[in-house]
Structure 1
Amino acid sequence: MGNTAEVVADYVRAAGGRFVFAYPGDPIIELMEAMRAQDVEVVLAGREGTAVFMAEAQAMVTGLPGVCLSTLGPGSTSIVNGVAAATWDRVPLLAISGQIDAGREDVVTHQVVDHKLLFSPVTKWAGRIEPRSVDTVMRKALRLAVAERPGAVHLTGSAETFAAPAPDNAVTPPPLGGGAGGVRVHRTEGGPDPTAVLRAARRPVLLAGAGATRCGASDALIRLAERAVAPVVVSPMAKGVFPEDHPLFAGVLDMACNQVLWDFLAGSDLVVAAGFDPVELIRPWSLAVPVLHVDTTPNTDQVYPSDCEVVGDVSASIDWLADEWRGEPRWDERDVAAHRDRLRTAYYAGRVAGRLNPTDVIDVVRASAPAETVVTCDVGSHKLLVGQGWQARRPRSVLMSNGLSSMGFGLPGAIAAQMTLGEAPVVALIGDGGFTMAATELRLAVARQLRLAVVVFCDGSLNRIELKQRALGYPSTATRLHDIDLVALAGSMGCHGVRVSSAAGLEKAMAGLTGPSGPLLIEARIDPAQYEAQF
């Protein structure tokens, strides 16, 4: 008979876990040892807050639950933001925190926080690990984390619990696939058939979201778009679910140039919301256009009304709509191309000749990086341009927090993505504000000799907020950043660094991405004037 920690580790390993990301403490020593014994590597992050972002990024690229560990008290409170990010980003995550033993939890105050109260508002479930029920708890936690819509689960266990013997049961992990089986149609009483709604539309637009990515709906989206000749708009966290070099690709909603996208949608006569999750909306939904809701879950958000819903696996649902399609092509591809030209013009608005503009950074990095590159993006003005301008060709190749939109994700996310993917090149595109939140994680990238490029957009500002202060006629208050020599900082951690202030300099620096192994930090000194023109 093994102990409880071994059962937990067995379930993590059976669920595909190769890494767990942690910052250790007394109550989880036994659990970490059990992970090590099961060939699940316990990766030491610089702090708990970056460990949970690493686990989230691992889940983003695999679709399986990422796992992070923390100790009690300040360890558990430090992961709350990342746990909330996974829930609002719809990413499966299992967070496990140590705790004092249950017999003393109600009477001891030192480092004791009520985890049930702390994590219930930001998770799908906050549970407790006990020896007699550990099998059931682990199955429930893993299944709930991946079930639609995915999110975080938090479990609490004490040192005594992890060391205690557990029943000798076979490890039987639950199904961990995403999506939802079958295709079910829900409509208002006497409402129309969804296939008839689609056939009646003259200018339908597909709006694909993260639910389409989770269900592997890329082929189905391409099939329906090409059969109907209907353009496809995607949400930021769904970038790549429809190839962005396809002639029917029409842009990314609520990133840069968002008015162009909203005008385009307003000019349609039907929006087919395929796995689109309103959690990503920055601007309130104000379209008067009818919506056909296609998702794994019913339209319970009611951000937009929909007279009929197709509920089930998004890929199967879109395939069914494609099978039932009848009629002539709905759009002329020249009209979609003209829209993309308008979008491109708006995207490059505000460029300053002779300076390194934010769009220059995106263009140079995209052109220099191999086609299979995975990019992570932090939060800030640069994210809105990356979200629109980085051309994604496959799902799960652009990782960002856009549900909670939490700063500090970009660097730890890139590290975990590179560790998980192995040889695939990874680039982190980060603002200087987001970088300072996680800069010391470069040490981990160096220690593991990760082939990682970290490109920092340096303008000395928390630009999004500073622009809003300026628009209100207020001075910049708490939005200016002290200058840091990032090249020297990188060097102090054994990381190669280079400073650039031109597109040519950046092209030269990016050549190092295909050179010797090890991370590369690029301090890109940008002119932020383009942000003001954009936003």
Structure 2
Amino acid sequence: MSETRTGSGSAPEKIKVARQVVEALRDMGVRYVFGVPSGGWVDYMEAMRVTEGIDFVLTTHEGTAAIMADVCGRLNGAPGVCFGTFGPGATNLSTGVGGALLDRSPLIALTDEMQAAMRGRVTQMGIDHQALFAPITKKTTRLESDKVREILFDAATIALGGRPGSVHVGLPVGMSAEYSSPRTDLPLPQAGVVGNAPVAVAKQMQAALQAARKPVLALGLGAVRAGVGDEISRFAEEHHIPVVVTPMAKGMIAEDHPCYAGVLFHALSDEVGKTHQQSDLVVLIGYDPVEFNVESWAPNVKVVNVDDQPLDLDRTAYPDVIEVTGTITSGVAALCATEMATKDWDVEALKARRQAMFERLKGADEFGPCAVLDVLREVLPEDGIMTCDVGAHTHLIGQKWPTPAPGRQIMTNGWSTMGFGIPAAIAAKLCRPNVDVCTVVGDGGFLMSAGELATAVRLGLPIVTIVITDNDLALIRIKQQKKQNPIYGTPIRAAGTIGGDNIFGVPVLTASERDGFRNALKKAFATSGPMIVEALVSSREYDELVLKKDKPN
């Protein structure tokens, strides 16, 4: 049957809901929809098959489908889109959907939903998807056959607006085959407009800066979205003001910038604290506490918050806060217009601390996790993208990995789910097919999403998966030992490798020293399909580098 039913007389033509959904997604800039299909999804897949500019990507798990959609949302600007069916499909999907909410990635999650007559009834796989997704999305709703574009465009607007995040849209089963007349006069969705920061509070900020002897600047996810790195770098250098960043804001300021002071929360954060604990004013720029609460690192001094929304902060501990609420670009413009003398920071001392920190991050082992990252940085081109999983190695990457620009290192820190690295690399390669893409995963996280290597094989994607094999959940082991508890439940295996020279059709190269690892990487990046390079290391190098306190008790 045709996807279009011609109206009679002057009535507008009627089009199948499935086709309307697919065309609406395509028109808002969606290139891929990731998921595991159901019977109710068949009509939508058929609509994608015959529609130019949008494709369905079969994944091995719904959770990793949502992670792929998250990363597409970060890199492409349009919301990423994923799908899961009833019950277990939706609950699997929810891990990545929650990730998009707390990692601030625009995403639309689609799921099957029961027809109206069956909602609330006892039936196979039947749960309330609206209730399931309410705590992990900015909004949850369901499709109506006569409001397809309105509902999807509204979902995209919400997903993109403010701090971006996920929106859930339920698709009642059977609605895909219904016909209705789509609205054709709706503007494409875009993030809502935020007004400029008020002049009065901008002047309060400028006065606070002028009075401060040792201010510090802290950049977060909002600063990345606002693209204010160059302005902040110039302002900091002109006035000798240190800059710290959150892990997901890496790339906003160069690691060799004279005012760069390091990354909060990650490896050797106590060394970073030697700088920010001296400050008498903390200026937050696009700082999102979802990565690291301000109370956990900032000294108890006056705080300026330059953001499009007020700061979540314990006001009893920090009673003196100036909220410069409005567009981050307008707040930064007012910041940079502040007339003041050079501040009292000892730039040479800052340089010495920075150099000492990076020297320690070279590691103690000839071939440990630090050496793995050093060799990878030598081999991966500057415009390449490295994603990473969650684990002890993430804390090293956050502090150690030189990141030339935002988006060239991709991690999850607001949500922090293990299993993120491989699906994130697949999505990055789909979005940036002309650059080298790799992922760094621990052997624990590798086991959580290794099945997506089969997806990379099917798609013919030349991504390189670096597995740091230490047979240890190192972060948890270190915490056990700090409590003087026996090591229990953290060894991944007694010894050995991830197993075999081929996993799901992906060749595995194994290395236990620098030169062998470097040669394996070069071979892997020169290959036309996915490759695994396994680095056999000890986890003990992490013990002296990670889980340090950002501020004294």
SS in 2 for 1:250: strand
Match of 2:28 among 12, 15, 40: 15
Match of 2:490 among 476, 479, 485: 479
SS in 1 for 2:155: helix
SS in 2 for 1:237: helix
Q: Are residue 223 (structure 1) and residue 241 (structure 2) matched?
A: no
Cα deviation code 1:107-156 (max 9, x no counterpart)? 24211110111110111111111112222211221011111111111110
Tell me if the contact between 2:59 and 2:65 (Cα under 8 Å) persists in the aligned partners: yes
Tell me which residue corresponds to 1:32: 45
Aligned partners of 1:192, 1:315: CA distance in 2, in Å? 15
Aligned partners of 1:221, 1:35: CA distance in 2, in Å? 44
Tell me which residue corresponds to 2:83: 69
Aligned partners of 1:320, 1:12: CA distance in 2, in Å? 38
Match of 2:289 among 271, 274, 278: 278
Match of 2:358 among 334, 340, 344: 344
Give the counterpart letter for 2:159 in structure 1: A
Give the length in aligned residue pairs.
Answer: 528
Tell me if the contact between 1:14 and 1:173 (Cα under 8 Å) persists in the aligned partners: no
Q: Which range is displaced more, 334-343 or 208-217? A: 334-343
Cα deviation code 1:441-468 (max 9, x no counterpart)? 1112222222311111111111111221
Inter-CA distance 454–3: structure 2 relative to 1 (3 Å threshold): same
Alignment TM-score, normalising by the size of structure 2: 0.91
Cα deviation code 1:367-410 (max 9, x no counterpart)? 11101111111111110001101001111111111011111100
SS in 2 for 1:20: strand
SS in 1 for 2:147: helix
Q: Are residue 373 (structure 1) and residue 384 (structure 2) matched?
A: yes
SS in 1 for 2:441: strand
Q: Are residue 360 (structure 1) and residue 374 (structure 2) matched?
A: no
Tell me if the contact between 1:245 and 1:391 (Cα under 8 Å) persists in the aligned partners: no
Aligned residue runs from structure 1 range 392-471, under 5 A: 392-471=403-482
Aligned partners of 1:175, 1:331: CA distance in 2, in Å? 45
SS in 2 for 1:193: helix
Tell me which residue corresponds to 2:156: 142
SS in 2 for 1:279: coil
Alignment TM-score, normalising by the size of structure 1: 0.94
Q: Are residue 161 (structure 1) and residue 210 (structure 2) matched?
A: no
Tell me which residue corresponds to 1:60: 74
Inter-CA distance 229–133: structure 2 relative to 1 (3 Å threshold): same
Aligned partners of 1:196, 1:311: CA distance in 2, in Å? 16
Aligned-pair CA distance for 1:195:
1.0
Inter-CA distance 411–200: structure 2 relative to 1 (3 Å threshold): same
Tell me which residue corresponds to 2:299: 287
Gaps of 5+ in 2: 1-13, 547-553
Tell me which residue corresponds to 1:267: 278
Aligned-pair CA distance for 1:91:
1.1
RMSD, aligned α-carbons: 2.1
Aligned residue runs from structure 1 range 174-213, under 5 A: 174-177=188-191, 180-184=194-198, 193-213=204-224
Tell me which residue corresponds to 1:507: 518
SS in 2 for 1:402: coil
Give the counterpart letter for 2:34 in structure 1: F
Aligned-pair CA distance for 1:286:
5.2
Tell me which residue corresponds to 2:258: 247
Inter-CA distance 333–222: structure 2 relative to 1 (3 Å threshold): same
Tell me which residue corresponds to 2:6: none
SS in 1 for 2:505: coil
Tell me if the contact between 1:211 and 1:277 (Cα under 8 Å) persists in the aligned partners: yes
Inter-CA distance 237–397: structure 2 relative to 1 (3 Å threshold): same
Give the counterpart letter for 1:517 in structure 2: S
Aligned partners of 1:286, 1:328: CA distance in 2, in Å? 22
Inter-CA distance 15–405: structure 2 relative to 1 (3 Å threshold): same
Give the counterpart letter for 1:284 in structure 2: S
Aligned partners of 2:243, 2:57: CA distance in 1, in Å? 39
Tell me if the contact between 1:500 and 1:523 (Cα under 8 Å) persists in the aligned partners: yes
Inter-CA distance 34–245: structure 2 relative to 1 (3 Å threshold): farther
Inter-CA distance 367–179: structure 2 relative to 1 (3 Å threshold): farther
Aligned partners of 2:93, 2:319: CA distance in 1, in Å? 36
Aligned-pair CA distance for 1:52:
0.6
Aligned partners of 1:65, 1:332: CA distance in 2, in Å? 44
Inter-CA distance 218–172: structure 2 relative to 1 (3 Å threshold): farther
Inter-CA distance 478–17: structure 2 relative to 1 (3 Å threshold): same
SS in 2 for 1:521: strand
SS in 2 for 1:450: coil
Tell me which residue corresponds to 1:46: 60
Aligned partners of 2:497, 2:351: CA distance in 1, in Å? 43
SS in 2 for 1:55: helix
